[in-house]
Every structure is written in structure tokens, then in C-alpha cells.
């Protein structure tokens, strides 16, 4: 799909992968509606490229998402690419009843909001076809290492994307999932890896993920791991799971 003059909506666009993706899509000629809660960040982002239009919304709010869809349809008349990127990290371990609230919050932002936005935009995506839904999952959604809440949410994103692709069939709305590994962002600083020279290669920049999202927007590829060599870990998780748990556990403990 040629991205020139297409309309893209990117959630979680105030920083990190979302901001980098908004810039990358705008550079390809897209009109980009950048969505997040922090309006001042979105205004600063929009000042960097004339094709970026800020929209303040909380993707966990049904009414706010409805307003977003109405604004996109009214002002731009189409949605060719929906990038469901909004996400938060878990700030607690899972030790008992006190941690359930955090667990539910992480699932609401990282998983339920993906379904909410996809459902809300479904009619406009179909009317704008060929179009793409690109859900930002994670390697943590393929290998259960790290925060239980975050991994559960990202496993859900991967499963939702795969099942929705089948449910929607082989039509003109392609459902895609991009699974980044460790990415250095404001919300996920990855300090424990960056301070160890031999582990720094595990961490990539938001721009690397954004470039992959642009490629998926063009191609409609079903699934993409970023960087590509992280796919090795996913394969090993199924072939020799004890090795993955042992090595992964040691890395996280360090």
C-alpha cells in the first residue's frame, strides 16, 4: 500500500514508539492523528511535522474513543492505518490481592483499549479499505518473562490480533501485530540492560520499531518481531523452553 496521502491514527503518541511512529508515517506522506492524554506533548510533536494533528483522548474511555472516531471521519474522511500503541508498564510485582488493581489497570490500557479502538474504527477502516490495524504487542507477549500483568496483556494482544485476523477473514482490512523486544523509552528506560555493555545490544530505539511499523503498514505483514533476530528467542521458547526460562530468569534477576 502506498502511504502517500493516507490517514493514520496512532495512539500512545506523546512519547516513545508512538511519537516515533507518528513522525515516521508523516515522513511517508500520511496525515497522522496523534492520540494521547498529554496535550502539551502532542502539540510539541505536531510542531515537528505539518502532517501530524494532535488529539487528546484517554483510550480507556468509551466516550473519548467515540469522539476520536467522529473527529477523524469528520475532518479527514478516512482511516487507512490504525496503530494501537498506547500502553503502560506494571509498577508492582504480583504477590497478592493488593496487586490485582494494578493488574486490571495494565490490562485495560494495554489490551482492552486495543479492542475498544479497533471496534470503534472498524466501520471507517472498512470504508477506507485497503486499510491496516497494527497492534503493538511485545516479545513479552510470546515469552512469559517479566511482569505478570504486562506479559498477560501482551499475550492477549497477540492472541486478539491472530483471532481477529481469522474472524475478519482475508478481506481488505489487514490485522497485523508488531512485537518489539526491549525498547529504550521514557516509560521503559531499560536501565538494567543499558548499564551492562554486553547486554546493550538487546535494546533498540523507538525509531527502529517505528520503521518496522511503517513497513508493516505498507505490506500488511501479519506479524513482525523487532529486531528480527529476537524471533530466535520465540522459537527457542517452544523448542527448548527450559533453556529460555533459565537464561531469561538470570537476565531479569541481574
Would you name the residues annotated as active-site residues?
Answer: 150
Nearest alpha-carbon partner for 111 in 143, 139, 84, 142: 84
Residue 114: CB atoms within 10 A of its CB come to 28
Instruction: Quote the CA–CA distance of 196 and 200 in Å, as a whole number.
Output: 6
What is the b/e burial string over 13-28, where b = at least 16 CB atoms within 10 angstroms of the residue's CB?
A: bbbbbbbbbbbbbbeb
* Nearest residue to 115 (alpha-carbon basis) of 145, 159, 81: 159
Locate the DSSP E strands across the chain.
7-11, 31-36, 52-56, 81-84, 131-136, 173-180, 182-183, 203-204, 223-226
Say if CB 82 and CB 132 are below 8 A apart: yes
Please identify which residue in the block is written with the cell numbers 524471533.
Answer: 231
Amino acid at each position: 500500500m502506498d502511504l502517500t496521502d493516507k490517514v493514520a491514527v496512532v495512539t500512545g503518541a506523546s512519547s516513545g514508539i508512538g511519537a516515533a511512529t507518528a513522525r515516521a508515517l508523516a515522513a511517508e506522506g500520511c496525515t497522522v492523528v496523534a492520540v494521547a492524554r498529554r496535550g502539551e506533548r502532542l502539540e510539541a510533536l505536531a510542531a515537528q511535522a505539518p502532517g501530524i494533528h494532535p488529539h487528546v483522548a484517554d483510550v480507556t474511555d468509551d466516550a473519548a474513543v467515540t469522539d476520536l472516531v467522529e473527529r477523524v471521519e469528520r475532518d479527514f474522511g478516512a482511516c487507512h492505518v490504525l496503530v494501537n500503541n498506547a500502553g503502560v508498564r506494571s509498577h508492582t510485582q504480583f504477590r497478592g490481592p493488593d496487586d490485582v488493581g494494578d493488574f486490571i489497570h495494565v490490562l485495560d490500557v494495554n489490551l482492552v483499549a486495543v479492542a475498544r479502538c479497533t471496534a470503534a474504527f472498524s466501520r471507517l477502516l472498512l470504508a477506507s479499505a485497503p486499510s491496516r490495524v497494527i497492534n503493538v504487542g511485545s516479545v513479552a507477549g510470546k515469552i512469559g518473562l517479566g511482569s505478570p500483568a504486562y506479559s498477560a496483556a501482551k499475550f492477549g494482544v497477540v492472541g486478539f490480533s491472530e483471532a481477529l485476523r481469522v474472524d475478519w477473514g482475508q478481506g481488505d482490512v489487514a490485522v497485523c501485530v508488531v512485537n518489539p523486544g526491549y525498547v529504550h523509552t521514557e516509560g521503559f528506560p531499560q536501565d538494567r540492560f543499558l548499564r551492562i555493555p554486553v547486554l546493550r545490544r538487546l535494546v533498540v530505539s523507538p525509531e527502529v520499531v517505528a520503521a518496522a511499523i511503517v513497513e508493516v503498514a505498507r505490506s500488511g505483514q501479519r506479524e513482525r518481531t523487532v529486531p528480527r533476530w529476537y524471533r530466535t528467542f520465540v522459537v527457542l521458547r517452544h523448542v527448548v523452553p527450559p533453556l529460555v526460562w533459565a537464561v531469561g530468569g538470570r537476565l531479569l534477576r541481574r
